[in-house]
Amino acid sequence: MNKFAVILAGGGGTRFWPLSRQETPKQLLNISGNDIMLNDTIERFKGIIPQENTVIVTNRSQAVLLESIMHSSVLKGNILIEPVARNTAASILFAALFIEKFHGDSLMVVLPSDHHITDEDQFRKTLNEACTAALESDKIVTIGIKPTFPSTGYGYISYQNVPYTTSPCAMYEVAEFVEKPNFQKAQAYLSSGHYMWNSGIFIWKTSVIIENFNRYLPRLYKSMLPLRDYLGTEQEEEMINKIYPTLQNISIDYGILERCDEVIVLSGNFGWNDIGSWDALGAIFPPDESGNIVKANYMGIDTRNSIIYGNGRLITTIGIDGLIIADTEDALLICPKNKAQSVKEMVDMLKERGMTKYM
């Protein structure tokens, strides 16, 4: 059975504002100093999935830049462009219908485009085990991450005590997907030992996920199914533009995963981090002796536990502790590190006030 990687690359990365913008979101930025995050993602599954079997789902505002800087192995015809954002469920069904039409029933690995992983060899080993489990069953397979601290920025997966199977590795039936908790709940999840972080990495056969759409999201399924007939034809773009604005706006987690009782999870331990907000930069850059992460032209006095990110202009600080300072050509963000998750609210405020040139 053919294997395909589907990379969801249409997000706005709003919690990484002002560096991340609508047309240049963080997945198209070189944050690590190695390559843009999208290309890092493509390199990561090398040897498990043929890189030419990469399908990227993005949006119209990002497509031109994406095509110019993405990995050379990706076929231009495998870039699926959404005219409007309709969340992850629509993106995943679009990709599944595309793969199934041109390649028949195939294994489909869904990957976010903006994660950072330090142990790529272990990642490939875990991904290979997950692929084997999905190929040998009609289950939805996901990779959970053993939590190391009570994060309020990640979703969680609750799982059964006894393994569903031990071949090719220990896998557990999922009891519940839980949205981002408050700090007290996150502490309880960590203490229980029966929760993992939701990595957003999913593995399934295209036939399995399409049937789950039919069962749990029938309205979305019925709306999108006619699109399959037009893929690869002269009317493809016209029909995508016609159908997409009518689609249900719902995530794959809410729409299917939280309802389905055929989901199994295996634990991944490969230095995973969802670089979703400024306070996650410590996963890429080790702090200095004062606890600061500095990627800027910078001088400071008595400055501790802070993140300072600049674009060339000199940044100076005196007597601060636990702040994020992110300076770009046209916008400056200053906030406490414990408010990093609230940056999205600032972007929402910019939108409400019509200040879209800063988005």
Report residue 139's pLDDT band, with 50, 70 and 90 as the boundaries: very high
Whole-number Å distance between alpha carbons of 97 and 218? 15
CB 277 within 8 A of CB 153: yes
Report residue 169's pLDDT band, with 50, 70 and 90 as the boundaries: confident
SS3 state of residue 295: strand
Domain boundary assignment for the chain: 3-276, 279-358
Segment 233-244 shows an average pLDDT of: 95
Segment 309-337 shows an average pLDDT of: 95
Higher pLDDT, 121 or 73: 121
Report the pLDDT value the prediction gives residue 29, as an integer from 0 to 100: 84
Q: Which of 94, 74, 97 is closest to 84 using CA atoms?
A: 94
Residue 161 carries which DSSP code? S
Report the pLDDT value the prediction gives residue 25, as an integer from 0 to 100: 83
Report the pLDDT value the prediction gives residue 72, as an integer from 0 to 100: 81
Helices (H), the chain: 37-44, 60-69, 87-103, 120-135, 183-192, 206-216, 218-224, 227-230, 236-243, 252, 343-352
pLDDT tens, 90-115? 999 999 999 999 999 999 999 998 88
Whether the per-residue pLDDT at 66 is higher than 90: the answer is: no
Length of the chain: 359
Instruction: Write down the pTM of the prediction.
Output: 0.90
Report the pLDDT value the prediction gives residue 321, as an integer from 0 to 100: 98
Whether the per-residue pLDDT at 331 is higher than 90: the answer is: yes
Higher pLDDT, 72 or 323: 323
Segment 2-17 shows an average pLDDT of: 90
Q: Which of 170, 130, 153, 189 is closest to 273 using CA atoms?
A: 153
Segment 25-47 shows an average pLDDT of: 86
Cα–Cα distances (Å) from 303 to 130, 139, 334, in that order, read 44, 51, 14
Cα–Cα distances (Å) from 256 to 34, 50, 262, in that order, read 35, 28, 10
Report the pLDDT value the prediction gives residue 54, as an integer from 0 to 100: 96
At 28, list the tokens: 């198209």
Per cent of the chain over pLDDT 90 is 70
Whether the per-residue pLDDT at 168 is higher than 80: the answer is: no
Report the pLDDT value the prediction gives residue 93, as an integer from 0 to 100: 98
Whole-number Å distance between alpha carbons of 93 and 254? 14
Give the rounded distance of the alpha carbon of 93 from its chain centre.
Answer: 16
At 301, list the tokens: 């006095």
Higher pLDDT, 30 or 19: 19
Whole-number Å distance between alpha carbons of 117 and 275? 10
Q: What is the mean pLDDT of the chain?
A: 92
Q: Which residue has the tokens 């700090």?
A: 183
Whole-number Å distance between alpha carbons of 176 and 160? 9
Segment 40-69 shows an average pLDDT of: 90
Whether the per-residue pLDDT at 174 is higher than 90: the answer is: yes
Whether the per-residue pLDDT at 257 is higher than 90: the answer is: yes
Report residue 68's pLDDT band, with 50, 70 and 90 as the boundaries: confident
Whether the per-residue pLDDT at 23 is higher than 90: the answer is: no
The least confident of 112-116, 292-296, 305-309 is: 112-116
Report the pLDDT value the prediction gives residue 73, as an integer from 0 to 100: 84
Report the pLDDT value the prediction gives residue 111, as an integer from 0 to 100: 95
Residue 262 CB burial class (10 angstroms; 0-12, 13-18, ≥19): middle
CB 231 within 8 A of CB 169: no
Whether the per-residue pLDDT at 145 is higher than 90: the answer is: yes
CATH class for the domain made up of 3-276: alpha beta
Report residue 288's pLDDT band, with 50, 70 and 90 as the boundaries: very high
Report residue 74's pLDDT band, with 50, 70 and 90 as the boundaries: confident
Report the pLDDT value the prediction gives residue 17, as an integer from 0 to 100: 93
Segment 246-254 shows an average pLDDT of: 95
Residues 6+ apart with CB under 8 A from 352: none
Q: Which of 323, 331, 321, 324 is closest to 357 using CA atoms?
A: 331
Segment 20-41 shows an average pLDDT of: 84
